[in-house]
Each structure stands twice: as structure tokens, then as C-alpha cells.
Amino acid sequence: MKQLIQDLLRTAVARLAEQGALPAGTQVDIQVDRTRDKAHGDFAANTALMLAKPARRKPREIADELVAALPDSTAVERVEIAGPGFINFFLSADAAFQPVRDALEHGAEYGRGDTAAGQNLLVEFVSANPTGPLHVGHGRGAAFGGALCNLLAAAGHQVQREYYVNDAGRQMDILAASVWLRYLDKLGEAVRFPDNGYRGDYVRAIAEALVTSEGDSLRHPAATVGADLPDDAEQGGDKERHIDALVTRCRELLGEDAYRRVFDRALNTVLDDIRDDLAGFGVHYDSWFSERSLTESGAVDQGLERLEAAGQLYRQDGAIWFRSSDYGDEKDRVVRRDNGAITYFASDIAYHLNKLARGFDQIINIWGADHHGYVPRVKAALSACGADPERLDVRLVQFAILYRGSERMQMSTRSGQFVTLRELRDEVGTDAARFFYVMRKPEQHLDFDLELAKSQSADNPVYYIQYAHARICSVFRQLQEKGLHYDEEQGRQQLMRLDNDHEQSLVTAIGQYPELIANAARAREPHQVAHFLRDLANALHTYYNAHQFLVDDEALRNARLCLITAARQVLRNGLDVLGVSAPEAM
RNA sequence: GCCCUGGUAGCUCAGCUGGAUAGAGCAACCGCCUCCUAAGCGGUAGGUCGCAGGUUCAAAUCCUGCCCAGGGCACCA
């Protein structure tokens, strides 16, 4: 509809230009907006105001001429000029009800953007190190990423959801060592557990499984394990040096084969748990991309070779550096350490080159806000390799701070003191959790109050929206109980009977949904959907309280049932984008 | 010090590709169930849009500076 009005205006502007009322070659961006106030019609355009300057004429004069030059359209009932020169469009009744017919006709597809114009997108999100269960901090990334993917898909894009598995690197080694130490502990070896080890109960559980499958074949005396290690932090030493030495000791004693078994046992157990957890949270991936595969396939080396070929690598202090400062980064970055190990950054260069090579129009990364300093160097690497850094869009998500009432809850993966995503799901439920996570824009800190999220009260916006859906379903149950019939065809013919304010605003809200999806997807802001649904639910509840739907007048009844059916469809579609269920009864 | 993100009603937040009287929820106060689920609805009250300049017919929105708050500035991942 907005499109139609823009076309009308464009024609009018062209006609005026032809008549010489506007300077030749006048260019104007035709902006048409929905009005906030019904007194201003359904849509408003500021075109005359924008033209006033280049035409050097009064805006209201131009508005008069524009209106006169507008082509006739059955969709527009009348046009008014208001204020400083706004042109207000009032839709004809028939056109105004079009959204209801569209929603009924397209069902789950209502609001879907043009697939032909859609892009091929890769969205990578969560990608937490598989060193432990997901905690509530990851939950926000999962909820946001999941909703964004659904939103982009709803807008007509093709979306691939990917999880980057950090299955190589030092943190995983520390996990493997932690598991092995717990394993020794279970066999009765009095080993000292490092300050920097992973302490969660899940580590003990993996160790337990290791005892079952490996028996005592991986056992070494505690004295051998702990011999001549640098002091740990608790002993007045450096915890990083201590743990690195411990990892090395672990590899030496076990040998590569056995070490790999421990490592993979830890990795697979944790990763299976993460997969299961995310699936339970309604987040599903198309691909799980292994970091290790990048090293093994030689992709990391190839990436470095590309930088080398571009003349952007240099050696200094025994390390290899990438001249990222040439591409806007604050300083140059190490890609290979003096001990020969490649850095995480080097893997990431290879990973992003790989993503682009897969042919996506754009790749989207969802990262925690603490990684923002990382963005310039990755883009720098892409630029240096001749790729367009604009093809990478990094969305930063602030952390969620968990509260129980007014008490702030602390968490840290290493210490094992954290609220897991699974605990959150068990406590507040997936629906409330997902909604709470996405109702704030991602760059806002999120205060997540557990008490509020699980309260089944009016304070809880999730139930408010779900209740609107359930209420509509309930009306149809009542309809059956009363032995009445819903004739949708008749209802569609009688939509003009829906003439009160509550019905008008509900129709308007339904009509806004497709635009909302397009806008929210363009801005990559799922929270817009959450806010829209709140408003839509409000329009429905207000209507529900003001009017009886199951009236004796059959034509009116069917028209009203058509309207609430359309509303229900939009509620469902929107909730679906957010990953929240639409219950039929509450 | 440099970079990023916030600063809008008592609280939590929308609105920010400039547009017509700045919105919602919660909290407060006053009302509404012989009627399709009151997990609901209506009303009242509540704001120098952090501060100061600038651009514009028009600024919460764009630009500059400053003040607060959080985060980031590794041969860690």
C-alpha cells in the first residue's frame, strides 16, 4: 500500500516537472509514512516540504499542485493537505481491509518478503568454546541469533545458521587436562587441582565416564604428574605458566594417542550437551564448523600465504605479524607466536576467508560486546586479501546480567559458578527466556530478572502476547460450543461492517506487519518484532473487552471472526520469528 | 590516553535512514467481570529526551565539544 502511494506521488512529481512547475531534473526521495494520528489519514508524505527548497516555492502551494496531479486510484478515498504542507492520504474502505484478506489468504506466509530479491546469508552465532555448558550469557546470543535468522528468513533471505566450534587451542587443552586430573582423583591419586583448571561438576562427570571406558589405563602416580611444575598462583607463582606446564606434562605422560582420546571425550561430551541444549532452546543449526579442520586442511597456512603475497606480513621478535594498522586497525597483530603456534586470529582469518569463499552475499557474526576490538583486525585481514570488508557484518550483543529479584548473580565458567542456560530454561521456560532475551535491543545491557520472567502475572509481557493468541482460540471453542458456524467467505464479503475504532486499529496493525518484518530485517533488530507484538496484542485485548465477537448478526459475526483470525495469524507468525510458542489455551 | 555502546517519566525501556501534541510496561491513584479466559480493559498523574553549541522550514533523531555509566585496548581464546 505504501508502495502504491509512493508510485502515485512519483507520477505527480513527474507531471509537475513536465509542466514546468518544478525545475527540470528535480530529484526527490518520496517518503511515505504511516500516520500516528488517524486524523491525519492513513499515510502521510512530506514530499512538498522536501521540494520547497529546490523549487524555491511555498510548500503548501506545491502540495496543492501535487494533489491535483495525483493519478486516480480506487485505493485512495481522499487526500488532504495539512500543517506546513504534509499530504495526508485516506484509504478507501475496500483498500483498508486488504491486510485482513492478505493475512487470511497467505497464512504462515503473510509478511514474508520477496524471496526472489532475497540474499544468501550466513549467520554465525553463539560459537561458545566447548569447554563447558552454555550459561545465561550465551543464552542471549542464542536467542538473538535464532530470532535474527528467523527474521531474515521471514524477510525473504536464504539463511544458513552456523556454529564455529573452537575445538583446537589452549582452552581445550586445559579442559582435557582438567578432566584427566579429575580422572586420577577418582582413581585415588592425590593430585593437586590447578587454580586455572575447569572446576565444574561436568568435568567430574566426564572423568567418571573415562574411568568406565578406560579403566586405569591412563593412570600415572600423582607424584610424577606434579613433579617440578612451576608454582601455581596459590603457591605464589603464575597460574598461566603453571597450567601450560601441566598441559605439557599431561601430553608427555599420556602420549598423543591417549591424550587425544581424553581430549576428544571432553570435546564431544561438552559439544553434545551444547547441541542438545540449543535444540531444547529452539535454536537449530545448519552447520557446525570445526576450527581444527582449518589447521588440518591447510586453510590457515593458505590464509597466511595470501597475506604474505600481499606483502602484509613481517617478522619481529621471533613472531610473525600482520600489518593490520595499514587497514585501520590500531596496531599490528601477531598471527604466529615466537613458539611457532598460530594465534586464534590466524584461524579466524582463515575461517572468514572460507566463509566468503562459500559465496554468501553477506556473512553476519554475532559476537559478545567484549569482542568489539576484534572487528577492525578481521576486516583488515579481509581487505588485505582483496575481499570487501563490507560483506562482513558484525553484530555485537551486550551481556545479560542476571538478577533474582534485586540480587545480582555472579558467574564465571572457570570457577564453575554460573547459571547454565539449561537451568534457566528449567526455571523460567523457553518461551519467557527467549522473549526476555530479545525484547531489548542488543546493544543495551540486559537486566534479566528471573523472578519476573517466571512470574505468571500481568507483569510478564510474554504471557500478555500469548494470552491474546489463546483468547482468539478460545473464542472459536466457544463458537463450537454454541453450535455456531464460521463462514469465512461471508466474513470476507462483510469486512466493511468492521467500522468501529477498535476494529480499525486492529486492521491497521495487521497491515503493518509486512513492513515491520522488512524494516526489522534490514536493521537486523528482532526486538522490533517483540514490540510490535505487544502493540498488536494490546489492540486485540482492547477490542475483546469492548465488543462481543459472537453476536447474533451473522454477517457481522463472520466479519469479526475474519478479523481476529487474521490477527491470530499475525501473532503466530511474529511469535514464530522470536522462537516463542503460540499456545491455544493458557 | 584511544576506541565502542548506553544516558528519554519514580523504575525498566521503545522511538534515532530528521517531520505534525515525545510513547509503552511496571510502580501510584480512580474505575470495569449476571457478558467469548480479569494472565484482560479504560482513565488520572508523571518528561528542561545527560549538558552546551551547530546544521535545517523542522532535531530525542544529524555534526562538534563536554559530563556521567559500562565494556574493550595480549605473542589469551
**Predicted ipTM of the assembly:** 0.95
- In the numeric block, the cell 588485505 is attached to A384
Whichever domain contains A274, its CATH number is 3.40.50.620
* Same-domain status, A434 and A471: no
- In the numeric block, the cell 510474554 is attached to A462
* Same-domain status, A36 and A159: no
**C-alpha distances in Å from residue A4, one per residue of A11, A17, A308, A541:** 11, 20, 54, 31
Last residue of a domain, one of A415, A435, A453: A453
Q: Residue A48 in contact with residue A62, Cβ under 8 Å?
A: yes
Tell me, what DSSP letter sits at residue A420? B
Compute the distance between CA of residue A113 and CA of residue A152 in angstroms, rounded to an integer: 9
Distance A248 CA to B23 C1' (A): 60
Q: Per CA to C1' distance, which residue is closest to B70? A: A445
Q: Residue A532 in contact with residue A468, Cβ under 8 Å?
A: no
* Same-domain status, A84 and A148: no
Q: For the purposes of burial, counting CB atoms within 10 Å of the CB of A298, is it exposed (0-12), middle (13-18) or buried (19 or more)? A: exposed
Q: Is residue A102 part of a domain?
A: no
* Same-domain status, A18 and A85: yes
Q: Is residue A228 part of a domain?
A: yes
Please name the nucleotide lying closest to A166, CA to C1': B77
* Same-domain status, A507 and A466: yes
Q: Which candidate, A268, A254, A229, A236, places its Cα nearest to that of A177?
A: A254
Distance A78 CA to B5 C1' (A): 45
Please name the nucleotide lying closest to A542, CA to C1': B41
Q: Is residue A393 part of a domain?
A: no
Please name the nucleotide lying closest to A531, CA to C1': B14
Q: Which pLDDT does position A411 carry in this prediction?
A: 60
SS3 A569: helix
Compute the distance between CA of residue A542 and CA of residue A508 in angstroms, rounded to an integer: 14
Q: Which long-range contacts (CB under 8 A, 24 or more apart) does A238-247 make?
A: A239/A194, A239/A195, A239/A196, A240/A196, A242/A194, A242/A195, A242/A196, A243/A174, A243/A177, A243/A194, A243/A196, A243/A197, A244/A170, A246/A177, A246/A194, A247/A170, A247/A173, A247/A174, A247/A176, A247/A177
Q: Which pLDDT does position A412 carry in this prediction?
A: 55
Distance A425 CA to B23 C1' (A): 32
Q: Per CA to C1' distance, which residue is closest to B7? A: A444
Whichever domain contains A557, its CATH number is 1.10.730.10
Enumerate residues 6+ apart whose C-beta is below 8 A from A265: A179, A206, A209, A210, A213
Q: Per CA to C1' distance, which residue is closest to B12? A: A447
Distance A9 CA to B13 C1' (A): 37
Q: Which pLDDT does position A416 carry in this prediction?
A: 52
Range of the domain at A57: 2-96
Compute the distance between CA of residue A437 and CA of residue A428 in angstroms, rounded to an integer: 12
Q: Look at the pTM and tell me if it is higher than 0.90.
A: yes
Please name the nucleotide lying closest to A584, CA to C1': B37
Q: Which candidate, A572, A399, A353, A558, places its Cα nearest to that of A469?
A: A572
* Same-domain status, A445 and A517: no
Q: Is residue A478 part of a domain?
A: yes
Q: Residue A400 in contact with residue A140, Cβ under 8 Å?
A: yes
Tell me, what DSSP letter sits at residue A267? H
Domain count of chain A?
Answer: 3
Q: Within A215-310, where are the H helices?
A: 222-226, 239-280, 291-296, 299-309
**pLDDT tens for the 586 residues of chain A, in order:** 888 898 899 898 888 888 887 777 777 788 888 888 888 889 999 998 888 877 878 888 889 999 999 999 999 999 999 888 899 999 998 899 999 999 999 999 999 999 998 999 999 999 999 999 998 889 999 999 999 999 999 999 999 999 999 998 888 999 999 999 999 999 999 999 998 899 889 999 999 999 999 999 999 999 999 998 998 888 888 888 899 899 999 999 999 999 999 999 999 999 999 999 999 999 999 999 999 999 999 999 999 999 999 999 999 999 999 999 999 888 899 999 988 889 999 999 999 999 999 999 999 999 988 888 899 999 999 999 999 998 999 999 988 878 777 677 766 555 556 788 999 999 889 999 999 999 999 988 888 888 778 776 666 889 999 999 999 999 999 999 999 999 999 999 999 999 999 999 999 999 999 999 999 999 999 999 999 999 999 999 999 999 999 999 999 999 999 999 999 999 999 999 999 999 999 9
State the Rg of chain A over Cα: 30
- Do β-strands A120-124 and A86-91 pair in parallel, antiparallel, or remain unpaired? unpaired
**Backbone torsions φ then ψ of A446, nearest 5 degrees:** -110, 120
* Nucleotides on strand B lying under 7 Å from protein C-beta: 2-6, 12-15, 17, 19-21, 23-27, 32, 35-42, 56-57, 70-77
* Same-domain status, A481 and A568: yes
Longest dimension (CA), chain A: 97
* Same-domain status, A432 and A514: no
Q: Is residue A116 part of a domain?
A: no
SS3 A519: helix
Last residue of a domain, one of A96, A119, A146: A96
Distance A33 CA to B17 C1' (A): 13
Last residue of a domain, one of A427, A453, A479: A453
* Same-domain status, A154 and A251: yes
* Same-domain status, A145 and A61: no
Q: Is residue A392 part of a domain?
A: no
> What length is written for chain A?
586
Q: Which three cell numbers stand for residue A586?
A: 493458557
- Do β-strands A76-82 and A86-91 pair in parallel, antiparallel, or remain unpaired? antiparallel
Q: Residue A4 in contact with residue A75, Cβ under 8 Å?
A: yes
Segment (H or E) for A400 = strand A400-404
* Same-domain status, A140 and A205: yes
Distance A444 CA to B8 C1' (A): 14
Distance A531 CA to B32 C1' (A): 27
Compute the distance between CA of residue A206 and CA of residue A189 in angstroms, rounded to an integer: 17
Q: Residue A25 in contact with residue A14, Cβ under 8 Å?
A: no
* Same-domain status, A198 and A88: no
Whichever domain contains A33, its CATH number is 3.30.1360.70
Q: Is residue A350 part of a domain?
A: no
Q: Is residue A267 part of a domain?
A: yes
